[in-house]
Chains A and B, each alone.
Chain A
Amino acid sequence: MSKIDRNIRILWISDIHYFSHYNKKNHSFKEFINSFVEYADELDKNEKFDYILITGDIANSGIKEQYDLFKEDILFPLQEKIENATLLVVPGNHDVNRNSDGFIESFFRTLPKERDTFFRNNYNKYFKDLFKDYSEAFKTNPKLPSKDVSDLSDNSALFGYVIDKKKKTIFILLNSAWFSIERNLVNEYISKKIVVTNFFKYFKNLYLHYIKKEKSIVEDNIMKSIRFAASEYGRQSLGLNFLNTGTLEEKVDDFNDYIVVTIMHHPINWLGWNSRIVKLNNDRELSTFHKIRKNTDLLLTGHEHIPKTHLSEKIDYNNLLHIQAGCFLTYQKEDEFNVKDFWFSTLSINTAKRTVLQEKHSYTTKKIWELEPGDNVPIKFDKKYKSYLSNNRFNNIARLSLDYKKVVFHYNQDNENQTLVIDDVTSLNKNFFVFNKILHTFTLSRKIDSIDLSYLKGVIDDNDIEIVCFYFLDRDHEFFPLYKNNVDKMLVLGKIKENFDFKFNEFRLRFFNDLKGNEPEMYKSLKFINKILPYWEIESFELS
């Protein structure tokens, strides 16, 4: 059953590690994949998903062949079933292309310089190459968020943010794997190249760094430095320089009442020191990530293959809720597909109540997907949020020219769950519309008194009207600027509603008081309704 509050439903899978040799002829594996799609379809039918979220490690080795298979086996069938869901995706360390290891040697040669510096200097040369197959796989997916509502940066599905005005949520997508020298890759590199080579030739900078020591010690230190520099845990970098964080900050500030969800593959403890530890920079400001972190209500990460029993956590004085995904699928040898602790999540974010419910679904030994039993009680976001209407938004709404016909169309489609086309709405004039025996009327509260009752009765008679529906926009009310004060917007809306309701009711009674002769009998079943459209509703119409 659908929800009353605005609810964001997310189907969230993570850590799939899709492998080229998965044999679809393997019956068990085939069952696993098929039943997942069917199960997801059932869940969607029960309550529609708005988003499909994948938090990295999609392919096992970040190569095209694996992505193609993943899309063919899982993503496309899933998107076919859950056709309206938007795709949100971030890469994981496994999405680094194993064949693009040319950067490793160059990087090692720059040591002991920090790897941030290395990649900033070599972005075009190496970085794109690292995720090229990943980006190729997703950047053309038709279900990626539309550009109107998102900034997905370089269009490579690596960074970005999405502002969902309908659902009042901002998603921030970060690439925590943008410099993942995945452990196996390093080991492979070291075992293949370093052992048989001349340390001095390859690691001149490091060699010179340790030159005063004995050779064996120097070589030991170089190995340690390499391993440390290449270490994944506590060393991951976010590469936020490539995200337009200035615009993001502005948006987060404007839409301060929205839920902010930050998504990345690695949990915070895998990030480098600067990202883990909150400190002010020289300008006594927080660094970009910490600003994002401070504004985030919900952090979603993958990577750690946590078991179902693992609980979500609140960090940063309970301001930030961190939920981790489990592992959807792990690498297994051909013809040996075994069910392990494979699970995925569905999230329901209630934007009115500011809560999130995580439900865990696992693949059981009975070869069916099941909702993990438990209390399944939503968790409330504790982060304080501002409720006032920013100047940018205020001006935008005041300026916004509304297509009333569109409003009628969308409002009725949303609330009555009808499937209609906009041409079914007949315009009588710029304020009067007829649809489905309902007269939809846009008016200002101060002008409602001047509505000509004879004209109205004529319209009602001519169109067999059963219900007269008035629409009032809060932006037309004298109290509208009160939203700019730092008070709960619902309090302001309450005052506006009280006033509109009163005016509307006065009109309704005037209509009935004015009836003469056989008119009371004629209009005895006529119903009146009034709808007050707050600015946050108007904003979502703007998008349609």
Chain B
Amino acid sequence: MSNKVYNKIDIDYGIQIVFSTIPNKGSHDFVEGIDKNYYQSYKDKIKSKDDYLFTPLKFYMLGDYDVCYVSLINNFNFSHRLFESIDDKNDTYHNTHTFQSYSGFALNKKEYLENFFFDRRKRLETEKKEYFIGVINLKLNNGLLIGNGIHFIEAVYKYIENNIIKEVDKDIPFVVSQTFSWFELSLVILIDNPNKLTEVLARLRSSEFDDLLKCEYVIQLGLNNIFESSLYHSILDKNIHHKINHTSLFADIHSYFGFNEKLITEDKESQYNIDFQKHIDENNISLHTVVEWHVKPGHIQKLEKILENNKELEQYSSFPDKKFLLGKSDYILLEKHDNILCNYNLLRYVYRDESLELYKHIRKVRSYVYLDAKNINKYINYNDEYLSWEGNLEKFAFTPTDFYRINVKLKALKISRQVRVKILKLFSNYNHGIQDPILFPYFVDFTVFIENLVKLIDTEYAEIDTISKPIMVLEKILLRHIEVFQEGYNVRFLNSYQFENISDFDLDFNSSIQQLLSSYGTLVYEMGKLFYESDQEVSPIIKLNNVDTESNYLSVNYSIYHLTSPEFVYTTLLKEFLNNLKLDRKEMDDVLQDFDNKLRTIKDKINESYLDDMFNSKLIKMDYFIIDSIRLIITFNNDFVLFQHWFWTYNFQNSSLFDSSGMFNEDVLRQEMFRLMLIYYMFEFDSNSGIKIECPTPELYTHWHRHHFKIKKLAKKLIDEIDNISFAKVIKNITDIYLSSYESLESFPDSFDVQAIKKYTDNNSKLYNADTFAKKICYLLNHIEGVNNKTHKMEKIIFHTLKNHFEINESIVTLKRNWKNGNVMTTHNELYKESLYAIDQTGGVYFYDLDKINEYFKLNAKSLLEIIDFSLKSKKDFMLKRIDS
């Protein structure tokens, strides 16, 4: 398999961008503290000796945020570190400050990126005068992106590189990242004149799909079908297809402007600052801004006094012309000139020592930048064509009649006013999301959730004349919907263009991660469909919760760290949506109930107090048994060694399964050993495979030794006693539906040794259709190409990712921490050198050295891009189905 997801791009690094305000109090300490304790300390921790990773370029900004950090990273978990200056020596108190951040894949070439970030702060003095930064966030046009996937993103990247940057100034240093946020691309340019930002923006704003199609590299990239594959093409009438060419490439463009840190932090007499002022004067560089002062009530005169006494500020500000904004107590001070030195001086004044006096009278100062748009017309090919397609989104939304109807039904069901209004507001919020032409892709995965909620209300209402139920029961169900919706909805709107000024307040993660949430949502939905036999669809909302992954039919919980470590998601993916099978197949409930009942009888027959204790302590869960059996067959393709590896790997990084003493909880171990051994004996790996179940790590041996002998015996006894036939029936019933999607595969190629996959089918053919199963294995092992089913392709990626990680690691190595203080014991680092990573029981993985971080990053980048691509393509079909109906 190719390691590339993009056609021409290799992913080697990620980029993190943080915008932050600077607290009034201790502003210097704060900025230095972030440098030292957020970036450098991490760099030290991972022993990074290079001059580009986690070494941010820093800029002081005009606008909502005061400072911007752009850094090259190779671990997305870094993005979610606490963005505070935490220091055991410095006790400076920092008052209110806010920040927003985002991260994603760096699309530029490896060498370019390393060079871009390589010690740039030092080189600036002698090299190019990159005095300014422009950050431009680009939300691609959804109508073009959906259906095309990441190759469209690649094409736009190439377009920006060749048709925008090079056209404006081929020497402008720039980096582009594909982000996990609500916008797909983020462009960072380093410039010596704000006009270049204006120029870049003007070109971006005027870019049409046609401009892209005309580019040679679109053909070179093999993107001939980019037009036909788009959502627009599928949903719009043929007679207006020509209009698609004139649609904008971007649905939204967001930009920021700032000054290189040296201009603010260094003395005005430094060479860099002298050169800068000269550069401004000589080139007559101007910037039109309006400065808004958030003045404490009654302090305006004191502020004016301070400003008047400052020669540098005084010459630029026109105090008599002050204005205040409607509805706010803030003042606008107009500039006398559009000289950029005005902003330069103001920034210096605010962030250097003098500002302390200033903050006695103001809360905040904010500059509005006005870029000259006069020239933009020259880039736009004027025509009268206008593509109106938003009407299609209305088909997903609630009409006023729908609201009325639901309201009436909820009233008839006697649902409390409080809950009823919440439900109506839930529908209203959904409407806002799904009809937003920019953000709707992130709310598409709410559609099934909403449809099912309506069905639930309809069903309950239909029964109102025939049966009486406690209202509390239905209210609890509705409240669960509300709770899931609320959290899912908030994280999808967080930091989006509608809330650009608020801070990253979510407790689970920094930066917005709409792309990830939504892509995983699609994966769960599409994979789940392979198991459902009725029309009942289930699309649980992806939520974040690192305590456990217990999911239900409404939501699937993941730890934030798993979203960028997809191997952990893959391990449990099946479990998450198999929880919903009971909805689809009512007999599943009966079967489980039956198993539970039989288990009691079997338990009495086996007659061991140890088994009773496990039973009474609820350590035996029959639904796990069914789900594990299906996971073994489907996710792990009957490869018990692989299953076992991931079974323990996943557990060992789940901190909630440990005790505060640092030991894996004894009861949890019993439960998990029992789960594993049941599968081992059920699938007869004991008798035929030569595979043994052994203690996965020495640390576990104390409890392992205490229990494994007993559990082994009991699991075997239970399997001997259990009703194998009805169990096999259930497994077969579930897997048959899934496997039937493989039946259409061509038969094995002539060269393929069918015997080679016998080991997968020999023992367990009673549990599934052996022929079809063999085809699936054959396909996943790469012997049948040309499979068109997107979901099967995704399965292939899942299988190979899991197998790949396993083969690189071979055995499970757990991270050694000193449990007195929780610190990693670096004295043990040598133990990890053979593996790609050590499993960290506080969550996720730990790396021995930087090379391994890089290797891991690349492995996972591929996986993540595949998921995003899969989601963007699958969403088209999903939407079409709804729009057509």
User: CB within 8 Å of B: which residues of A?
Assistant: 1, 3-5, 348, 350, 352-353, 355, 357, 375-378, 415, 467, 502, 504-506, 508-509, 512-513, 515-516, 518, 520-521, 524-530
Supply 16 A–B pairs (Cβ within 8 Å), ascending by A: A4-B610, A4-B713, A4-B714, A350-B608, A377-B601, A378-B604, A378-B605, A512-B816, A512-B828, A513-B818, A513-B820, A520-B816, A521-B831, A527-B698, A529-B702, A530-B702
The verdict on A509 contacting B607 (CB below 8 Å), with A520-B828, A524-B831, A527-B701 known, is no
Q: Does B706 touch A at the CB level, under 8 Å?
A: yes
Tell me whether B706 and A1 are in contact (CB under 8 A): no
Which residues of A sit under 8 angstroms from B816, Cβ to Cβ?
512, 520
Closest to A530 in B: B702
Q: In the bound complex, what is the Cα–Cα distance between A526 and B697 (angstroms)? A: 10
Q: Does B661 touch A at the CB level, under 8 Å?
A: yes
**A424 CB → nearest B CB, Å:** 20
Across the interface, B609 reaches (CB within 8 A) one of A353, A506, A513, A524, namely A353
Across the interface, A4 reaches (CB within 8 A) one of B608, B661, B663, B828, namely B608
Q: In the bound complex, what is the Cα–Cα distance between A529 and B702 (angstroms)? A: 4
Tell me whether A508 and B702 are in contact (CB under 8 A): yes
Q: In the bound complex, what is the Cα–Cα distance between A512 and B820 (angstroms)? A: 12
**B610 CB → nearest A CB, Å:** 5
Tell me whether B831 and A513 are in contact (CB under 8 A): no
Within 8 A of A (CB), among B778-833: 816, 818-820, 825, 827-828, 830-831
Tell me whether A520 and B827 are in contact (CB under 8 A): yes
Q: Does B717 touch A at the CB level, under 8 Å?
A: yes
User: CB within 8 Å of A: which residues of B?
Assistant: 601, 604-605, 607-610, 612, 661-663, 695, 698, 701-702, 705-706, 709-710, 713-714, 716-717, 816, 818-820, 825, 827-828, 830-831
Tell me whether A353 and B612 are in contact (CB under 8 A): yes
Tell me whether B702 and A515 are in contact (CB under 8 A): no
Q: In the bound complex, what is the Cα–Cα distance between A526 and B695 (angstroms)? A: 12
- In the A-B complex, the 7 residue pairs with the smallest Cβ-Cβ separation, listed nearest first, are A527-B701, A352-B609, A520-B828, A378-B607, A529-B705, A353-B609, A527-B698
Which residues of B sit under 8 angstroms from A515, Cβ to Cβ?
827-828
Other 15 A-B pairs with CB < 8 A, given A348-B607, A520-B831: A1-B717, A5-B609, A376-B605, A378-B605, A415-B709, A467-B701, A505-B702, A508-B702, A512-B816, A512-B828, A518-B830, A520-B830, A521-B830, A521-B831, A527-B705
Which residues of B sit under 8 angstroms from A467, Cβ to Cβ?
701
Which residues of A sit under 8 angstroms from B601, Cβ to Cβ?
377
Q: In the bound complex, what is the Cα–Cα distance between A377 and B609 (angstroms)? A: 14
Q: In the bound complex, what is the Cα–Cα distance between A504 and B716 (angstroms)? A: 31
Q: In the bound complex, what is the Cα–Cα distance between A458 and B827 (angstroms)? A: 20
Give the interface centre of B702, B709, B713 by most chain A CB atoms within 10 Å. Answer: B702
Tell me whether A4 and B605 are in contact (CB under 8 A): no
Tell me whether B698 and A350 are in contact (CB under 8 A): no
Q: In the bound complex, what is the Cα–Cα distance between A524 and B834 (angstroms)? A: 13
Tell me whether A3 and B701 are in contact (CB under 8 A): no
**B111 CB → nearest A CB, Å:** 37
Tell me whether A353 and B607 are in contact (CB under 8 A): yes
**A382 CB → nearest B CB, Å:** 15
Tell me whether A528 and B701 are in contact (CB under 8 A): yes
Q: In the bound complex, what is the Cα–Cα distance between A378 and B709 (angstroms)? A: 23
Across the interface, A377 reaches (CB within 8 A) one of B604, B612, B662, namely B604
Q: In the bound complex, what is the Cα–Cα distance between A132 and B874 (angstroms)? A: 93
Closest to B717 in A: A1
Q: In the bound complex, what is the Cα–Cα distance between A357 and B607 (angstroms)? A: 9
Which residues of A sit under 8 angstroms from B695, Cβ to Cβ?
527
Which residues of A sit under 8 angstroms from B713, Cβ to Cβ?
1, 4
**A527 CB → nearest B CB, Å:** 4
Which residues of B sit under 8 angstroms from A377, Cβ to Cβ?
601, 604-605
Closest to B701 in A: A527
**B851 CB → nearest A CB, Å:** 20
Which residues of B sit under 8 angstroms from A3, Cβ to Cβ?
608
Tell me whether A505 and B663 are in contact (CB under 8 A): yes
Closest to B825 in A: A513
Dominant SS among interface residues on chain A: mixed
Closest to B604 in A: A377
**A31 CB → nearest B CB, Å:** 32
Q: In the bound complex, what is the Cα–Cα distance between A3 and B605 (angstroms)? A: 12
**B819 CB → nearest A CB, Å:** 5
Q: In the bound complex, what is the Cα–Cα distance between A525 and B699 (angstroms)? A: 9
Q: In the bound complex, what is the Cα–Cα distance between A526 and B828 (angstroms)? A: 14
Across the interface, B662 reaches (CB within 8 A) one of A1, A4, A509, A527, namely A509
Which residues of A sit under 8 angstroms from B705, Cβ to Cβ?
527, 529
**B127 CB → nearest A CB, Å:** 46
Which residues of B sit under 8 angstroms from A504, Cβ to Cβ?
702
Q: In the bound complex, what is the Cα–Cα distance between A463 and B276 (angstroms)? A: 74
Closest to B601 in A: A377
Closest to A524 in B: B831
Q: In the bound complex, what is the Cα–Cα distance between A529 and B709 (angstroms)? A: 14
**B837 CB → nearest A CB, Å:** 16
Across the interface, A509 reaches (CB within 8 A) one of B698, B819, B827, namely B819
The verdict on A350 contacting B609 (CB below 8 Å), with A505-B663, A513-B818 known, is yes
Which residues of A sit under 8 angstroms from B706, Cβ to Cβ?
529
Tell me whether B717 and A516 are in contact (CB under 8 A): no
**B698 CB → nearest A CB, Å:** 5
The verdict on A516 contacting B827 (CB below 8 Å), with A4-B714, A377-B605, A506-B661 known, is yes
Q: In the bound complex, what is the Cα–Cα distance between A109 and B247 (angstroms)? A: 128
Which residues of B sit under 8 angstroms from A355, Cβ to Cβ?
607
Which residues of B sit under 8 angstroms from A527, Cβ to Cβ?
695, 698, 701-702, 705
Which residues of B sit under 8 angstroms from A352, Cβ to Cβ?
609
The verdict on A524 contacting B717 (CB below 8 Å), with A509-B819, A516-B827 known, is no
Which residues of B sit under 8 angstroms from A350, Cβ to Cβ?
607-609
Tell me whether A505 and B661 are in contact (CB under 8 A): yes
**A227 CB → nearest B CB, Å:** 47
**B175 CB → nearest A CB, Å:** 41
The verdict on A528 contacting B702 (CB below 8 Å), with A1-B713, A1-B717 known, is yes
Closest to A3 in B: B608
Which residues of B sit under 8 angstroms from A506, Cβ to Cβ?
661
Q: In the bound complex, what is the Cα–Cα distance between A509 and B717 (angstroms)? A: 36
Q: In the bound complex, what is the Cα–Cα distance between A524 and B827 (angstroms)? A: 12
Tell me whether B818 and A5 are in contact (CB under 8 A): no
Which residues of B sit under 8 angstroms from A508, Cβ to Cβ?
702
Q: In the bound complex, what is the Cα–Cα distance between A375 and B604 (angstroms)? A: 11
Which residues of B sit under 8 angstroms from A1, Cβ to Cβ?
713, 716-717
Closest to A528 in B: B702
Which residues of A sit under 8 angstroms from B605, Cβ to Cβ?
375-378
Which residues of A sit under 8 angstroms from B702, Cβ to Cβ?
504-505, 508, 527-530
Which residues of A sit under 8 angstroms from B663, Cβ to Cβ?
505
Q: In the bound complex, what is the Cα–Cα distance between A377 and B702 (angstroms)? A: 34
Q: In the bound complex, what is the Cα–Cα distance between A528 and B701 (angstroms)? A: 7
Q: In the bound complex, what is the Cα–Cα distance between A512 and B825 (angstroms)? A: 9
Tell me whether A353 and B608 are in contact (CB under 8 A): yes
Q: In the bound complex, what is the Cα–Cα distance between A516 and B825 (angstroms)? A: 10
The verdict on A525 contacting B698 (CB below 8 Å), with A1-B717, A505-B663, A520-B827 known, is yes
Q: In the bound complex, what is the Cα–Cα distance between A417 and B419 (angstroms)? A: 64
Tell me whether B698 and A4 are in contact (CB under 8 A): no
Q: In the bound complex, what is the Cα–Cα distance between A76 and B661 (angstroms)? A: 57
Give the interface centre of A3, A515, A527 by most chain B CB atoms within 10 Å. Answer: A527
Which residues of B sit under 8 angstroms from A520, Cβ to Cβ?
816, 827-828, 830-831
Q: In the bound complex, what is the Cα–Cα distance between A423 and B661 (angstroms)? A: 38
Closest to B663 in A: A505
Closest to B698 in A: A527
Q: In the bound complex, what is the Cα–Cα distance between A509 and B702 (angstroms)? A: 12
Which residues of B sit under 8 angstroms from A524, Cβ to Cβ?
698, 831
Q: In the bound complex, what is the Cα–Cα distance between A509 and B604 (angstroms)? A: 40
Which residues of A sit under 8 angstroms from B714, Cβ to Cβ?
4
Closest to B700 in A: A527
Which residues of B sit under 8 angstroms from A505, Cβ to Cβ?
661-663, 702
Which residues of B sit under 8 angstroms from A4, Cβ to Cβ?
608-610, 710, 713-714
Q: In the bound complex, what is the Cα–Cα distance between A515 and B830 (angstroms)? A: 12
Across the interface, B698 reaches (CB within 8 A) one of A513, A521, A526, namely A526
